[in-house]
Amino acid sequence: MLRAVAGLLGCLLLAACSTGATDPPAPPATPDLPSASEAAHLLRDLAATSRRPDVPTYDRDAFGSPWADTDGNGCNQRDDVLLRDVVADTVTVARQGACDHDVLAGTWVDPYTGRTLTFDDLKDLHQAQAIQIDHVVPLAEAWRSGASSWSGARRHRFANDLSVLLAADGPTNAAKGDDDPAAWRPRKAFQCEYAERWVAVKSHWALAADRSERRALAEMLGYC
């Protein structure tokens, strides 16, 4: 009895008693971006391609199943990105199977528009569709600029690469579609980072760029 009381007092003093609640795990690391000058150098080194290259018709299925757990942490890539991009101290997570951060609720800032997005039940389909995981370089654009010749395994890795993915406003993501920077741009305050991200992805994955895309990216890098 005395031992139990002593243990309880020690627990209270150390604030170490378990309450049954669990803190969300550390999010995946945000990839380092190149500086504007580094991105400009990488942009110059990208292979050239035509605006409408002669490639097979784009096939989404060629990139494999979406949001696979490619890093083996038990959670799919959607939950990984939602946890990484959420505003600090706003997220609610639960364990689901092997995943220790099934994201249920939180607040995000859409990088493309600057809008604040708050959701209290991401199991609700309407709310889940309102925050989407965007491929900064869209899959169809990657297909046109080199991925059509890749192996299926390489395309699958690209589609689930966390450095390619951002949590974004659903309607804005839909409006972006598969456009490149010559056809679609985010708000001006994000254009520098957007160009840095785009160039970093294309450089890392050895994807090509066409002339109008290069001009748009160079202009956005000029805002840095």
Q: In one letter, which amino acid is 106?
A: G
Q: Say if 40 falls within a structural domain.
A: yes
Q: Quick one: CA dihedral 94, 98, 101, 104, positive or negative?
A: negative
In which domain, by residue range, is 105 found?
A: 34-49+61-221
Cite the beta strand spans of the chain per DSSP E: 92-96, 99-109, 116-119, 131-135, 165-169
Specify the pTM. Answer: 0.85
| 172 secondary structure, DSSP code | H
The b-or-e profile of 74-84 (16+ CB within 10 A means b, else e) is ebbbbbbbbbb
Bin 44: left if φ > 0, else alpha if -120 < ψ < 50, else beta.
Answer: alpha
Do residues 213 and 47 lie in contact, with contact meaning Cβ atoms separated by under 8 Å? no
pLDDT of the residue at 2: 34
Instruction: Read off the tokens for 107.
Output: 């607040």
Q: Say if 42 falls within a structural domain.
A: yes
Dist. CA 163–CA 200, nearest whole Å: 9
Dist. CA 85–CA 127, nearest whole Å: 17
| 52 secondary structure, DSSP code | S
Q: Say if 200 falls within a structural domain.
A: yes
Dist. CA 53–CA 144, nearest whole Å: 7
Q: Say if 206 falls within a structural domain.
A: yes
Q: Say if 43 falls within a structural domain.
A: yes
Write out the chain's pLDDT in tens, 224 residues: 333 333 333 333 333 333 233 455 565 555 589 999 999 999 999 999 988 888 999 999 999 988 999 889 999 999 999 999 999 999 999 999 999 999 999 999 999 999 999 999 999 999 999 999 999 999 999 999 999 999 999 999 999 999 999 999 999 999 999 999 999 999 999 999 999 999 999 999 999 999 999 999 999 999 99
Percent composition of the chain: helix, strand, coil (DSSP 3-state, to 5): 45, 15, 40
pLDDT of the residue at 29: 55
Instruction: Read off the tokens for 143.
Output: 């297909």
pLDDT of the residue at 24: 58
Q: Say if 5 falls within a structural domain.
A: no
Span between the terminal Cα atoms of the chain, in Å: 66
At 192 the three-state DSSP class reads helix
- Per the structure, how many domains does the chain have? 1
Q: Say if 10 falls within a structural domain.
A: no
Q: Say if 128 falls within a structural domain.
A: yes
